[in-house]
Structure 1
Amino acid sequence: MTTDVPRVPLAPLSAARSLATAGRVLRQLRHDPRSIALMILVPCVMLVLLRYVFDGDERTFDSIGASLLGIFPLITMFLVTSIATLRERTSGTLERLLAMPLGKGDLIAGYALAFGALAVVQSALATALALWGLGLDVTGSPWLLLLVALLDALLGTALGLFVSAFASSEFQAVQFMPAVIFPQLLLCGLFAPRGTMQPVLEGISDVLPMSYAVHGMNEVLLHPTVTGDFVRDVVIVAGCALLVLALGATTLRRRTP
């Protein structure tokens, strides 16, 4: 049974309210060192492990390291964002905020800004480690590699915000990972070229954003300049992140149990 929370007329999207929401989320995360460690350190640790798994074959690391540099941030941001946002939903924090003159857009923008700031730090550290610490050899600009890694992390943030609406516990939030992340991981072209897949799977791969994230990384790996395919990949990944954020706003309800 649900009861309506008194509604306050909504104001247009406000930069001040979005920044205030982002600040509140960051202050809460500051007291959760495990989440910060998961977001910032785990991608770096995984890259180090991958580098020394292929210690005798640096070419293999070069060929898949760039792709995983985009995949690791996406996965970690998905996990942390989905769990952190679920806590806000189940504790009633989101509903209390929505009873105030705070629009859904302000909330989503605030959460996206907070986790996006962490995504910038995460992507910068992972990219720097891969290029200058682990010797990842790329033909293109490191800044392009960082751009794709950042967009991948933001996509993971958007997906985490969205799926948190459909879980009632942290365990359920983690269970969404096999449904949302694993199919993309298998079909993104990391394990086999997409063109060699069964046609139906190739068609599914063509609509999954991780496929374009991996392809964008490979474009930087192989080409010294910005290519048309790279621009397409970046636009698609960014567009998917914005679309999922918009869908996430529709899951915010002004009702309480």
Structure 2
Amino acid sequence: MNPQRTLATAGRILSQIRHDPRTIGLLLIVPSLLIGLVAWIFSDTDSFSVIGPSMIALFPFIVMFLVTSITTLRERRTGTLERLLSMPLGKGDLILGYTLAFGLLAVLQSAIAVGFAVWVCGLTIEGSIWLLLAVAVADAILGTTLGLLASAFANTEFQVVQFMPVIVFPQILLGGIFIARSQLPDGLRQISDWLPLSHAIDAMQAVATNSHDAAYVGGELLILGAWIVGAIVVGSVTLRRRTP
């Protein structure tokens, strides 16, 4: 892998997105609007203070997964990746370039979402807001890398959407949003322990309630980091030059 080629790939992706206002709006604004909708729904109760941190983990994760997977697949279907990979550009350079580009967008997205939830929607954070932002960024990057991984196996945009019930929905159901993970049946609780979104939600809740120390949150971040690296490696190995 070559750092210059990786940075060139990231710059190309960012330049393309800069000229696509709809994608920019989807990435940066829509997660905050969805968080605001949830806050509005529970405006007459105290429930938003309980589920708010989970929403910060959930919506950016889903949006980054969809945008990244569809963007990568579209470039492969149009032959762009085939032309790029015919040059001295490795698959690792390409995947890391995509991760870096969307990772920078994830930082902006997470900062907007966290700021909106705290200062507009009134979400109370007992712990460090900077630590909460760090978890939000890691969670959004996780969605990016899983999206890259899904695009390596899909042939059409519709197939990318079909991956959501396989990759995203089980994590939502078992992540502790609807019921605490400690109350899940034993088998499902063990499965949820292996799902990365569960750890993102746990870390968000821990920071929001200040129920655990920074070492605990750091451990959850390490787990998210391991998933991110694993998705990058597998995505690099399985990436096809062109959709048949």
Task: Give the alignment's TM-score, normalised by structure 1.
Answer: 0.91
Tell me, in whole angstroms, the C-alpha distance in 2 between the residues paired with 1:84 and 1:172: 13
Q: Which runs of 5+ in 2 are unaligned?
A: none
Q: 1:106 maps to which residue? A: 93
User: What is residue 252 of structure 1 aligned with on the other side?
Assistant: 239
Q: How does 1:133-152 map to 2 (within 5 A)?
A: 133-152=120-139
Q: How many residues align?
A: 244
Write the distance in 2 (CA, Å) between the matches of 1:256 and 1:235.
34
Identical positions, percent:
52
Of the three residues 208, 227, 233, the one matched with 1:240 is 227
**SS state of the match for residue 176, structure 2?**
coil
Of 172, 185, 191 in structure 2, the residue corresponding to residue 198 of structure 1 is 185
Measured on the aligned residues, the alpha-carbon RMSD in Å equals 1.4
Instruction: Tell me which amino acid in the other structure corresponds to 1:67.
Output: S
Q: What is the 5 A alignment of 1:153-168? A: 153-168=140-155
The SS at the match of 1:168 is coil
Matching residue's letter, 1:36: I
C-alpha separation between the residues in 2 aligned to 1:115 and 1:135? 28
The amino acid of 2:141's aligned partner reads: L
| Counterpart position of 2:44 | 56
| 1:85 Cα deviation from its structure 2 partner | 0.4
Q: Is 1:19 paired with 2:7?
A: yes
Larger radius of gyration: 1
1:223 counterpart residue number: 210
How far the C-alpha of 1:35 sits from its partner, in A, is 1.6
Query: 1:81, 1:161 within 8 Å by CA — same for their partners in 2?
Result: yes
Question: Which secondary structure state, in structure 1, belongs to the residue aligned with residue 163 of structure 2?
Answer: helix
Counterpart in 2 of 1:65? 52
Is contact 1:123-1:149 (8 Å) kept?
Answer: yes
Structure 2: how far apart are the matches of 1:73 and 1:256?
28
Contact 1:139 1:222 in 2 (8 A): yes
Matched residue, 1:3: none
1:29 counterpart = 2:17: yes
Report deviation, 1:152.
0.5
> What is the aligned partner in structure 1 of residue 64 from structure 2?
77
**Matches of 1:240 and 1:56 in 2, distance apart?**
38
| Aligned position for 2:170 | 183
SS in 1 for 2:148: helix
Task: Give the whole-Å Cα distance in 2 for the aligned partners of 1:174 and 1:49.
Answer: 23
Does the 8 Å contact 2:142/2:224 carry over to 1?
yes
How far apart are residue 255 of structure 1 and its match?
A: 6.7
Aligned-partner Cα distance in 1 for 2:42–2:50: 11
CA contact (8 A) 1:209 1:237 kept: yes
Q: 8 Å contact 1:145–1:220 — kept in the other structure?
A: yes
Is this contact kept in 2: 1:95–1:256, CA < 8 A? Answer: no
Q: TM-score, normalised by structure 2?
A: 0.96
Post-superposition Cα deviations, 1:31-50, rounded to whole Å, max 9, x if no partner, equal: 32222211111111001101
- 1:130: which partner in 2? 117
Does the Cα contact within 8 Å between 2:72 and 2:148 map onto a contact in 1?
yes
Which residue is equivalent to 1:209?
A: 196
Q: CA deviation at 1:224?
A: 7.4
Q: Which runs of 5+ in 1 are unaligned?
A: 1-12
AA partner of residue 195 (structure 1): S
